[in-house]
Amino acid sequence: MLKFILSRLLTFLPTFFGVTLISFAFIRLLPGDPITVLAGERGISAERHAELMTEFGFDQPMLIQYWDYLKGVVQGDLGQSLVTKKPVWDEFFTLFPATLELSICAIIFAVALGLPAGVIAAVNRGKFFDRLLMSSALVGYSMPIFWWALLLIIAFSGWLGWTPVSGRISLMYYFDSGTGFMLIDSLRSGQDGAFWSAVHHLILPTIVLGTIPLAVIARQTRSAMLEVLSEDYIRTARAKGLAPFRVNGVHALRNALIPVITVIGLSVGTLLAGAILTETIFSWPGIGKWMVDSIFRRDYPVVQGGLLLIAVMVMIVNLIVDMLYGFINPKIRKR
Amino acid sequence: MTETSETASQATDRPGPLREFWYYFRENRGAVMGLWIFVAFVLVALFADLIAPHDPTAQFRKNLLQPPFWQEGGSIAFPLGTDALGRDILSRLLHGARYSFYVGIVVVTVAASGGIVIGLIAGFAPRWLDAIIMRIMDIILAFPSLLLALVLVAILGPSLTNAMIAIAIVLQPHYVRLTRASVLSERSKDYVTAARVAGAGRLRLMFVTVLPNCLSPIIVQAALSFSTAILDAAALGFLGMGAQPPTPEWGTMLAEAREFILRAWWVVTFPGLAILVTVLAINLMGDGLRDALDPKLKRS
């Protein structure tokens, strides 16, 4: 097991350096030199330009520049936002809980509906329910979620007036953000209706962000269940006279869960990509919207730092999933 | 002599690979339906100029935000209504098919050909080179695809061509991984050793001997990434980083329609529906392709 963990860590390190290299290269690939880029549309005098080039070390050889950048990254120094003048690192971790809260809700939504849907489809293989569920899953999988968001807004906010269109909580409520998770903070604030307002704001973004993972989980659960259901021990369990619910729900599902858990773990990248669209549409103040806004504002240090932090986060989650998978399934370790 | 004629007659009894493929593909009704929708989509893309009732950029100033013909105030001249500038939505949708088809074809061709060549090299290369190539692919895969595409477009500047380049770069590692995995499983087989013993050069081994036997999963991947390319290009267009207005690209149309969602449902509904139906048809087709091409699932 130790050998397995070490080998995974060994492949992690070169990828980490590669990711830092890409985010390092990003600001230097933009047309014009970095100082001109950072100065933006206002322009900059030639003297000040030369001064700043030395100050930021852009006149050093590339290798030294990269080394300095790497030292900064390891110490959590990712530069400052051009717009807010705050450190990129701090901004990221202020906004991150909003994205995390939304992603957790989306995954709970996807698992709560996707698992039973996959099991029901597998047990009724080829019958009406199977076809209905799997066609819906394919529609969900093919959904342009930015359009899906607009449709839900038309239906639930426009026609029915049930849900708000943007933000995390109604402007009527104000309290300090302790944890950054609106559901927890609103409960702790003790204000009447604050929690419900937060829940209301979460409903549509959760559905939108959870739709594709829901479809993937339903399809994956179905195929994993079908594989397990043809095993001998399932036949034995049936022959012993166990109730169908026990056979399907306990014996089969437990073994079908391993590939499903992997899919859930690996959908972190999908969630973050989806968060870019979902947060932009619902004005959700998380890192997805922050990245898009920064790209439009040409706030390049933010784009550079955010890109790195998001990639490292995806890599760490994948590494953990990988190790958990090796832990659950010893066969993987041998490869 | 009799032995050879016997094998020859057996060979003719066995259906050709294309016919065998069609036999299994046809069994999946959803896939056949997807294929027909896709054929219709290609025809629309090719003949948009002839089918469309109006010019996609012509503005009819007297008919701003006119509803579809079955609603009050609609007219048959603009069957699906008009947008905020009085442009015919149906004509714009028909022309939009052209952009989506173009995006799909270009992205898949670039990503697949690049990915296949790199994957073949990785599969045949010495270990150190293989390791380097695969780590580079891991690095690209560490970024969420849409984010990396967005950042690439930010470097290159927003346009449909740059969006296509970005999406092709993001999709390409999947082809590399697939090709390499099948090359590694094929390389040690007897027929490859036989070809090598017979004196086939390395290039011939790669492209003529091994590659044709690795194609099934790549074809399925091509179908799936065709739909991913259309979705991602539309998402970039929606974010203002893809095709620029007044191009009648579906995602860009949705972006322009956003402010009217509560006043004019049709400007939002139809472009998205077009994306959904096209992507769904291609995914249905992809599922059928996988069932027909994957020998493991074939007879289960």
pLDDT at B296: 55
Q: CA–CA separation, A116 vs A282, rounded Å? A: 29
* ipTM tops the 0.95 cut: no
Least confident of A131-145, A158-172, A282-296: A158-172
> Using CB atoms, which residue from B144, B150, B261 is nearest to A150?
B261
Neighbours of A216 (CB within 10 A): 21
| Domain chopping of chain B, boundaries | 33-49+84-297
pLDDT at B13: 62
For residues A133 and A53, which has the higher predicted lDDT (pLDDT)? A133
Query: Sorting pLDDT into bands at 50, 70 and 90, what band is A331?
Result: low
Q: What is the mean pLDDT of residues B88-106?
A: 93
Q: CA–CA separation, B293 vs A147, rounded Å? A: 33
Highest average pLDDT, of A73-77, A310-314, B276-280, comes from B276-280
Side chain identity at A172, as an amino acid letter?
M
| CATH classification for the domain delimited by B33-49+84-297, as one of 3.40.50.1370, 3.40.50.720, 3.20.20.70, 1.10.3720.10 | 1.10.3720.10
Checking if the pLDDT of B6 tops 70, the result is: no
Checking if the pLDDT of B4 tops 80, the result is: no
* pLDDT per residue as tens digits for the range B169-195: 999 999 999 999 999 888 888 999 999
SS3 state of residue B254: helix
Question: What domains are there in chain A, each with its CATH number?
Answer: 2-74 (no CATH), 88-328 (1.10.3720.10)
* pLDDT per residue as tens digits for the range A224-262: 888 888 888 888 888 888 888 888 877 788 878 877 887
Nearest CA-CA partner of A271 in B145, B237, B228, B167:
B145
Cβ within 8 Å, pair A154-B268: yes
SS3 state of residue B155: helix
Place of tokens 């003790």: A190
pLDDT at B97: 93
Backbone angles phi, psi at A170, to 5 degrees: -65, 145
Checking if the pLDDT of B94 tops 70, the result is: yes
Nearest CA-CA partner of A199 in A152, A163, A154, A151:
A163
pLDDT at B12: 56
Checking if the pLDDT of B1 tops 50, the result is: no
Least confident of A168-177, A222-231, B31-40, B113-122: A168-177
Query: Sorting pLDDT into bands at 50, 70 and 90, what band is A332?
Result: low
A333, B124, B211 from B179: Cα distances, Å: 23, 11, 8
Cβ within 8 Å, pair A154-B154: no
Q: What is the mean pLDDT of residues A116-139?
A: 91
Q: Whole-model pTM?
A: 0.88
Q: What is the mean pLDDT of residues B96-101?
A: 92
Interface test with A, best of B27, B147, B170, B273 (most A CBs within 10 A): B147
> Using CB atoms, which residue from B142, B155, B239 is nearest to A292?
B239
Checking if the pLDDT of A84 tops 70, the result is: yes
Chain A CB contacts of B154 under 8 Å are: 295, 303
Mean pLDDT across chain B, nearest whole number? 87
Dihedral, B19, B24, B27, B31 alpha carbons, nearest 10:
-90
